[in-house]
Amino acid sequence: MKEIIVTPVTTTPIVETPVKVGATDNETIEYFVYYFFGFVEVLLAIRLILKIAGASVTSGFVRLIYAIAGFFTMPFDGIFRRSYAEGSGSSSIFEPAVIVAIGFYLLLAWGIVKLIRISSGEKQAE
């Protein structure tokens, strides 16, 4: 007769990991803040490139970009002087106010998101 050897079976406990399904309300607000200020940053960068390239203001697209981005650069106009360079048929303009605006809105977006995270009461990563 054969002898049957029974070995004990060890089971590993199943650990459930919580899965995040959607964004919280605070995260949704953070995404909106980053999206809005990201859009502003892109507009300002396009304005800077168009001004440096000497884009013609007779173009509707150029006028639109200058008008919208001009609203966001207005508080910074006059901080530094503009630099002009005349070329053949176009004049290039360097506006330091646009660079200041880009930095300001970058820091503003970061600060708003930090305030949202602090006010949410969640533990912050160090």
pLDDT in tens, 40-78: 999 999 999 999 888 888 889 999 999 999 999 998 988
In a domain, 3, yes or no: no
Residue with structure tokens 């800077």?
48
For residues 53, 59, 62 and 63, what is the CA-based torsion angle, rounded to 10 degrees?
Answer: 130
Please check whether residue 52 lies inside any domain of the structure.
Answer: yes
In the three-class reduction of DSSP (H, G, I as helix; E, B as strand; rest coil), residue 50 is classed as helix
Look at residue 35 in the predicted model and tell me its pLDDT. Answer: 96
Domain assignment of residue 1, yes or no = no
Residue 16 domain-assigned?
A: no
Let me know if residue 94 belongs to a domain: yes
What domain range is 73 assigned to?
Answer: 25-118
State pTM to two decimals: 0.73
What is the Cα–Cα distance from 76 to 33, expressed in whole angstroms? Answer: 21
Contact 58, 89 (CB under 8 A): no
107, 42 in Cβ contact below 8 A?
Answer: no
Query: Does 54 map to a domain?
Result: yes
Structural domains of the chain, count: 1
